Amino acid sequence: MAILYADDPADAADWAKAIHALDPALDLRFWPDFGAAGEIDFVIVGSKAPGDLRQFANLRAIQSTWAGVNLLLGDVGLPPDRPLARMVDRGLTVSMTEYVVFHVLDHLREGPRLRAAQRAHRWLDGPQRSPRSLSVGILGLGVLGADVAAKLHALGFPLRGWSRSRKELPGVTSFAGREQLTACLAGVELLICLLPLTDDTRGILDHTVFAALAPGAVLIHAARGAHLVEADLLAALEAGHLSRAVIDVFAPEPLPAGHPFWRHPAVTVTPHVAAITRAGTGAEDIVANYRRAMAGQPLINQVDRSQGY
């Protein structure tokens, strides 16, 4: 009985340390030197598998160290009949909330204007906005969206959130389903995207969504590159209907040299660093899921393949 680590080799030592701290007896092997394929019961992968996982005939389950499993689900080497769990890691959740709250507060406190004024040696004072006056919309109210909502609510921002099913979250006006998307966006000045990438959400950040926002709105996009119709964003910025975009995720990654986002004055590019899984906290669910898989129990954070997340 063995666990195969088939994620980034650069992180293998950290994961081994964290997993063995929880259970030193676990037989942990490392791609590609895994020994007999028939001995592998459980595979740990990243955003995609390094090879064909169908060779592991006795595989009980697959665990991703990534929260988003869109690339994995598109991988032909992923056994279609084995349970797949995605990562929910409190370390990752906290970092995503830090990333989003940082950019929301930067917008509230006029960071871009003040930095531009300093570059021009201009003393720019003026009134301050209250969080209560800035309507924030969150697309995706799952693990990450709900944590962001809780922290922004504590700071006083009025929140509107959109998900597949309706939510009861403090301070959040909840909207559900495609038919309520436009209503959710009404009056929103700052839109945060934390959706999984599925057939239903691909290309969702398009001209219709931008047109439904308040004039001058800001986009913070930390979900997946393929949610965004780039030409529609550039047109909305050009028209002044959106004033700024903070983007962490791109299709493809890395963002190609020469891409217009790199030099656009109203676009902040970050290189898919909003949040990463930390072995120290992520290992807990991995070991729990290994035990569950061996006991034939459903996994924690098991992906619903029919929904794509």
Q: Whole-number minimum distance, CB 66 to ligand OXD, in Å?
A: 4
Residue with the two structure tokens 């009404």:
186
What is the token pair recorded at 265?
């004055």
Q: Whole-number minimum distance, CB 43 to ligand NDP, in Å?
A: 20
> Measured between alpha carbons, how far is 255 from 262 in angstroms, rounded to an integer?
8
Residue with the two structure tokens 């030099």:
263
Q: How far is CA 96 from CA 76, 110, 132, 176, 274, in A?
A: 30, 21, 22, 23, 5
Binding map of ligand OXD across residues 31-70, x = CB under 6 A, - = no contact = -----------------------------------xxx--
- Whether 224 is catalytic: yes
Q: Which is nearer to ligand OXD, 174 or 277 (CB)?
A: 277
> Measured between alpha carbons, how far is 31 from 15 in angstroms, rounded to an integer?
13
Residue nearest to ligand OXD (CB): 68
- Residues lying near ligand NDP in the complex (CB under 6 A): 67-68, 92, 96, 140-145, 162-165, 194-198, 200-201, 222-224, 248-249, 272, 274-275, 309
| H or E, element range at 267 | strand 267-269
Q: Which long-range contacts (CB under 8 A, 24 or more apart) does 55-60 make?
A: 56/4, 60/293, 60/294, 60/296
- Whether 86 is catalytic: no
Q: Whole-number minimum distance, CB 270 to ligand NDP, in Å?
A: 8
Scanning residues 256 to 295, which ones bind ligand OXD (CB under 6 A)?
Answer: 276-277
Catalytic residue, chosen from 202, 272, 278, 305, is 272
- Phi/psi for 44 (5° steps) reads -105, 120
Contact between 229 and 207 (Cβ < 8 Å): yes
Binding map of ligand OXD across residues 204-243, x = CB under 6 A, - = no contact = ----------------------------------------
Scanning residues 81 to 110, which ones bind ligand OXD (CB under 6 A)?
Answer: 87
Give the binding site for ligand OXD (CB under 6 A): 66-68, 87, 276-277
Residues with catalytic roles: 224, 272
